[in-house]
Structure 1
Amino acid sequence: MSSFLSFVSKTDSNPIDPDAVEEASRCLDQFTAAFNALDLAGMDAQLHFPHVMISGADTLVWDAPNQHPSDFFQRLKSTGWSSTRYESKVPVLSSQDKVHFLVTYTRRSDTGEELTRHTNLWILVKQNEVWGISLRSY
């Protein structure tokens, strides 16, 4: 967008686009499949950059791939983590090229025990015909 006015003046009479939701949801599934496969490059492949994460009042911006700490999965495994799964992915706003999901996922042990539960807002956008996660709010 070239100006603030053109940015905020877009309107959409249909807040949920089922085709966009299905496509964007596949991106989320691919991200989590890579996550569970301990595949940082595969996770990055599902992100758009700059990638924004918001936690409380803190904002983290990654301008490029390869930003996860090298010991990311070792730290996660030290908590007893073995896998992550979606409990729900609820689209709350969408258009042809953007979907906001309220995502609930659990982190689980190797026996399937729920270790933690998280509900976050994730925003996916379609850029150059490719869906990617642009923002995660924790």
Structure 2
Amino acid sequence: MKAFNSRDAVAWAKTVHYPHIRIAGGQVQVWNTPEEYAQSNDARQLAEASTWARSAWTYRKLVQKSDDKLHFVTRFTRYDANDKPILSADSFYVIVKKDGRWGALVRSSYVGVIGKKTAF
């Protein structure tokens, strides 16, 4: 969340594993490299297209775990510059330990669609 809120697409791309899969808005997206991910997940675009200023976890609940995989049920909230909530969405994260590092491999959320473009 810290990398996302920083609007640093390269830093955010380093928090996930590849191939990275996202299911949202009736679409399945797959990124094979950090470069692909950073190019299409620039949080500055979200800020420019909406009143979004930051996001925060409402909750994160670990529902299953093994030594190298974690399943989280989550909810996040997006806020405007006045710290007013503008959207909350439930999601599911699969976090895996790969090459000695934990990162998100799969995300599925109920963010939906803003206009004709899926919101990230």
Same fold (TM over 0.5): yes
Q: Which structure has the larger Rg over C-alpha atoms?
A: 1
1:76 aligns with 2:76: no
Task: Tell me the percent identity.
Answer: 27
Q: In structure 2, what is the equivalent of residue 6 of structure 1?
A: none
Moved over 2 A (4+): 55-58, 66-75
Cα offsets for 1:70-124 (capped at 9, x unmatched) = 6833431131000000010001111111111111000101111000001100110
Task: Point out where structure 1 has 5 or more consecutive residues left out of the alignment.
Answer: 1-31
| Letter matched to residue 39 of structure 1 | D
Q: In structure 1, what is the equivalent of residue 61 of structure 2?
A: 90
Q: Which has more strand, going by share of residues? A: 2
Equivalent residue in structure 1 for 2:21, among 22, 28, 52: 52
Q: Which has more helix, going by share of residues? A: 1
| Distance verdict in 2 for CA 1:76–1:57, change over 3 Å | closer
Equivalent residue in structure 1 for 2:77, among 88, 93, 106: 106
With structure 2 as the length reference, what TM-score do the two structures score?
0.81
Task: Point out where structure 2 has 5 or more consecutive residues left out of the alignment.
Answer: 110-120
1:63 aligns with 2:37: no
With structure 1 as the length reference, what TM-score do the two structures score?
0.71
